Amino acid sequence: MNALRVLSPIAEAISAGRAVVALESSVVAQGLPVPANSDAVRRMMSAVEQQEAMPAITAVVSGTPTIGLTSDEVVRFLNRSGVSKVSSRDLGSLMASGGDGATTVAASLTLCRAAGVQVFATGGIGGVHRDPFDESADLVELSRSQVVVVCAGAKAILDIAATVERLESLGVSVVGYRTDEFPGFYAASTGLGVPARADEARQIADIFRAQLAVGHPGALLVVQPPPAEAALARSEVEEAVEIALDAARRQGVRGSAMTPFLLSAVERATHGRSLAVNLALLEANARLAGTIARELVESH
């Protein structure tokens, strides 16, 4: 069985106590269209590096779970041919079969735990679906992963209020970065408050260390709104999501195909503006994650 592979520069950074930020691969292999997915990778990795941190894309490569992809592997995953979507439950079977897999938030957190990476950036977490009912494995993995997870809230296609309630039930700590609201992915506002707020990355690092000190088993979920210059109005997002959900019902879309289908439908309903928001928030989240990772190692 193939053991976890950590690319040498990333392994050296972890060993030396330098800042490392894990990045999800499913968002670029399944969540974003070609060639926007390539732009997303470039922007996320650059944003992390600008904060003097090491970016590390998580994935399963030919059956080997990995932290960090080579340039050739990045190209392969961006082309997405033969690359499956992998949640935490799928890791063992994919390792045994020797396939390529792009890791969701849930699977990425599993690999972060295995490698000792403390900071992870994504776009939006999975959560409770609106119709039909479904609940993402992301929520359970957040409850048992001692990782700082930076995102723009839950994906707008979800029942965000129900997702916030499940996070509370599972004991997942949530802090708003320069916001008092749980953001709505494409929109800054949802009308839902957050239990804590931090205006500086150092505060987030302090909160995370305090969690670790008392043995809290779960993640610190850091939510920040999408960049103001790119964000959509809350009403526009809701209308687009309703159109997407109606299309999914009519076409009988189910299971793992639901999220990519809805995201594509929302993109069409917003005439491509949701894609621009997605790219902007991925970059912003990676940048914040890099800053937090640096604070964790510098102020340790």
Which segments in the chain show pLDDT lower than 50? none
Distance CA 225, CA 237 (A): 14
- Catalytic, 85? Answer no
Q: What is the pLDDT of residues 131-152, one digit of tens each?
A: 767 899 999 999 999 999 999 9
Which residue has tokens 């009912």? 133
Question: Exposure of 266 by Cβ count < 10 A (0-12 exposed, 13-18 middle, 19+ buried)?
Answer: buried
- Among candidates 284, 299, 297, 220, which has minimal Cα distance to 54? 297
Question: Exposure of 88 by Cβ count < 10 A (0-12 exposed, 13-18 middle, 19+ buried)?
Answer: buried
Residue 54, domain CATH: 3.40.1790.10
Which residue has tokens 């998580």? 58
In this predicted structure, what is the pLDDT of residue 261?
86
- How many domains is the chain partitioned into structurally? 1
In this predicted structure, what is the pLDDT of residue 180?
98
In this predicted structure, what is the pLDDT of residue 300?
65
- Catalytic, 52? Answer no
In this predicted structure, what is the pLDDT of residue 132?
66
Structural domain of residue 270, as residue ranges? 5-298
Looking at 141, 155, 181, 295, which residue is catalytic? 155
Q: What is the pLDDT of residues 167-226, one digit of tens each?
A: 999 999 999 999 999 999 999 999 999 999 999 999 999 999 999 999 999 999 999 999
In this predicted structure, what is the pLDDT of residue 259?
77
Strands 119-121, 100-103: pairing is unpaired
Distance CA 137, CA 125 (A): 10
